[in-house]
Structure 1
Amino acid sequence: MSEEKRMVGSYEVEQSIFIGEKEVLFGVSQKEEYPFMVCYCDYNNPLSAPWYTEAVGTDDYLEAMELFCDRVQAQIVLTRSGQEKFKFDKTPFTAVDCIPDKKSESIIGKVVVIDAEPKRYEYQHAAYQLILADGGNGASGGRGQAVFGTCLATGERSRWERYDVLGEIRPERMPQWAKDALHTIKNQEKAKKPHSREER
């Protein structure tokens, strides 16, 4: 069976490179006035659906390839500058660093390690692995896979899958930067909770 072609409108995608938060695409369509197209694609929406932006068309192949390469380079620079703020050891955590995960048990309120292997190369390091789990059917040990939580290094709340959880980080393996981040996140959560009024 032939592999299904990826299309953006009438353009067939011939090249794509995913770096950081965006994918850069190069497409070709002989039906269009401008047969060569370069655009961005990201999946940062509730349905994780492809969202195409900043499309540029041209009839000059080399001009299109130059733009494609420029956008890839820009994504490399953006991603590198974002990671330079992580001043700690980026060596990925492995199963050795974890209390093995029992899929049927709750991990809500625990700091768990997300497997680095399935991630793209630029995200295969410690900064994106330690998550404070706080919800989801997968996190509670239910039938689903969804694990919601906060990444300790970035402070961003997102969704992960239970099958990507290696286990709870062993206390002796938890680095100081993660302990500091956990303390900050818990303080922020405490501050958000409404204070009960004292009875007069």
Structure 2
Amino acid sequence: MSKEKRMLGNYEITQSIYIGDKEVVFGVDTKDPHPFMVCYCDYHNPLSAAWPTEGVASDDYLEAMQIFVDRVQSQIDRTKEELFKFPFDKTVLTEEHCIPDDGMRNIVGKVVVINSEPKRYEYQHPAYQLILADGGHGATGGRGQAVFGTCLATGERARWERYDVLGEIKPECMPDWAKEALVKIKQQEKEKKQRNREER
């Protein structure tokens, strides 16, 4: 059974490496005067579809491959910088650190642990595991899977799936950096609500 080719426009993707927040891809279209193409693919959109950016085409294979390698190195450097912001203990959190979860109880307002296993290796880090859940059918114990919340380490709000939630973190397992981040996030939420009331 032949494997389906991955295409971007007329270019067949022959190499791809996903590092950090972007994928670097290398494509070939032998019918084009510039048969070798390198671009980034970004997946940060509502459909999580590949969004090509910063495409470069070349008629020189080695030149195009050098661009590909340089971009991969650039993504490695950027991801190292990102992780450098989190100098705390890198021990990945597991079910042992959690209050057992049946997937049905309401976790809104709770700090939960996201399973690091499905994530790519560079993101298997506690900085990306502790989330303050604040909504979604999956968080309220409804029929859906969506869990919305704020990542304690990065302050970014995003969506996770309920099946990725290992459980609520045990109070004694909550790291000091996470306690501090939680206080900051709750303070910001309080100030935002206050501003909204004043604007009315």
TM-score band (shorter)?
over 0.9
1:79 corresponds to: 79
Deviations along 1:153-176, one digit per CA (max 9) or x if unpaired, are 000000001000000000000010
Q: How does 1:15-34 map to 2 (within 5 A)?
A: 15-34=15-34
Which residue of structure 1 lines up, in the alignment, with residue 98 of structure 2?
Answer: 98
Gaps of 5+ in 1: none
Three-state SS of the structure 2 residue aligned to 1:193 is helix
Cα distance between partner residues in 2 of 1:182 and 1:162: 21
| Separation of aligned partners in 2, 1:61 and 1:100 | 54
- Specify the alignment match of 1:43 in structure 2: 43
What RMSD, in angstroms, separates the aligned Cα atoms of the two structures?
A: 1.1
Inter-partner Cα distance in structure 1 for 2:117 and 2:2? 28
SS for the counterpart of 2:149 is: strand
The reply on whether 1:69 has 2:78 as its aligned counterpart is no
Q: Does 1:147 align with 2:147?
A: yes
Inter-partner Cα distance in structure 2 for 1:33 and 1:64: 14
CA displacement 1:135-158 (0-9 Å, x = unmatched) = 111111111111000000000000
Deviation at 1:29, TM superposition (A): 0.6
d(CA) in 1 for partners of 2:24, 2:39: 6
- SS at the partner of 1:155? coil
Structure-2 separation of matches of 1:10 and 1:171: 54
The structure richer in helix per residue is: 2
Further displaced range: 41-50 or 164-173: 41-50
Q: Give the aligned partner of residue 134 of structure 2.
A: 134
TM-score normalised by L of structure 2: 0.96
Note the alpha carbon deviations across 1:36-61, whole angstroms, 9 max, x for none: 00000011112211100011011111
How far does the alpha carbon of each residue in 1:44-92 deviate from its partner, in whole angstroms, 9 at most, with x for none? Answer: 1122111000110111110011000000000000110111111110110
> Is 2:185 the partner of 1:185?
yes
Q: Please give the secondary structure, in 1, of the residue aligned with 2:139.
A: coil
Q: Kindly state the Cα deviation for residue 194 of structure 1 after the two structures are TM-superposed.
A: 3.1
TM-score, normalised by the number of residues in structure 1 = 0.96
Q: Which residue of 2 aligns with 1:14?
A: 14
Shift, 1:187, TM fit: 0.4
Letter in 2 for 1:157: R
Structure 2 equivalent of residue 171 of structure 1: 171
